[in-house]
Amino acid sequence: MAGGKAIGCGMAALTVVPVSAVLAITLLVAGLAEDEEAQRLEQASCVVSADTRGDPGAAPGDLQAVPNGWGPLVEAAATEAGLPASVVAAQLNQESGWNENATSPVGAQGIAQFMPATWAAYGNGGDPLSATDAIPAYGRYMAALKTDVQAIAGGDANLLVQLTLAAYNAGPGAVQQYNGIPPFQETQKYVSSILDTAQSRFSMDCTAPTGGKPWDGDLGDGEWTTPLPGGKFTSGYGQRNIPGLPAWAQNHVGVDIATPGAGSGDGGTVVAPTDLRVTSFLDDDNCVIARENGDDPDFVFAFCHLNSYAVEPGDELKRGDVIGVEGNKADLGAVITHLHFEIYRPEAPDKSYPYNNFNIDPEPILKEKGAWPQ
């Protein structure tokens, strides 16, 4: 049994076996070891090799390296659970190594390592040794765990993923008791290991498997915050005359904001100016497309030229959540590092793209919302 865990072995409602007996949780709360694991939770390592990149045309964050044609099952389970697909794949990989016939000394079975009592509740009468039955059941079970710990996350999508994994490992009761990831070295290592594997093995381009941590800098006192904290306005909306640019690019349909001194490498942190829902990516110009997540007809935003993303389609972001890193990647070739930011009218489609004829000038809107870069 990969990872030494079994679904249903924690302190879930249907199980009464003591956590210490079944999970063998190491209760050594030595400060140094736990601090190291806590730091690993903050930023997973990421080394992408050629054999994990998968389809070069896939969108950033797409699921990679799932064997036996089970990718659609994993995607569906991720949707059911409300978790990133890369995290679901990493957890199943850790639990069973994709072995449908895996068993454990404590009675866990199958690719998702269900205990009999938990399978009875979530298996819908299927076969725990069949991936086509067990992976959907896994999605249902993880959705229940996520609900159990959701209030503790306080709206932080990144933390909610971690707490759900911790609830699987140590039981939702332990997460509730400690109001967060329990101070068990094994649980912290379990969570960080899955996030590492999700990012390095199952995501095409090292895209982080969650919505990113909220920006911890100054968000300002406006209704919105600037999409590039610390950035300066460098180019406005409308016609311009910049040597070397093609004619279409001279009619600028967004605004440019740049971090002073960034040059041509990684720039500053790009954040959600308001609550958003990520809808799509545009690979050619390294753009994240997102729509306002409100009750009224909502604007659509494009955050372009990013050097890296920290989100996936479907992520719901709060004001200040990290979107990615300001960069110089553009379909025009190498450019000076900056954020090209566009706003589209509410009737624009979710899967929008830059220069799509729905553009409106972002400057007066950002100024009205108190988010214009200073």
Residue with tokens 């389809």: 55
Q: Which residues are marked as active site?
A: 95
| Polymer length in residues for the chain | 374
CA distance 168 to 187: 9
Tokens of 235: 């180019």
CA distance 95 to 52: 20
Give the burial class of 175: count Cβ atoms within 10 A of its Cβ; 0-12 exposed, 13-18 middle, 19 or more buried. buried
Percentages of the chain per state (helix, strand, coil), in multiples of 5: 35, 15, 50
Residues with Cβ within 8 Å of residue 56, at least 6 apart in sequence: none
Residues with Cβ within 8 Å of residue 242, at least 6 apart in sequence: 249, 250
Pairing relationship of beta strands 359-360 and 339-344 according to DSSP bridges: antiparallel
Residues with Cβ within 8 Å of residue 276, at least 6 apart in sequence: 290, 291, 292, 293, 301, 316, 317, 321
CA distance 350 to 280: 7
- Phi then psi for residue 343, to 5 deg, are -125, 135
CA distance 75 to 165: 17
Tokens of 129: 């040794």
- The residues pairing with 324 across neighbouring beta strands, listed in sequence order, are 270, 309
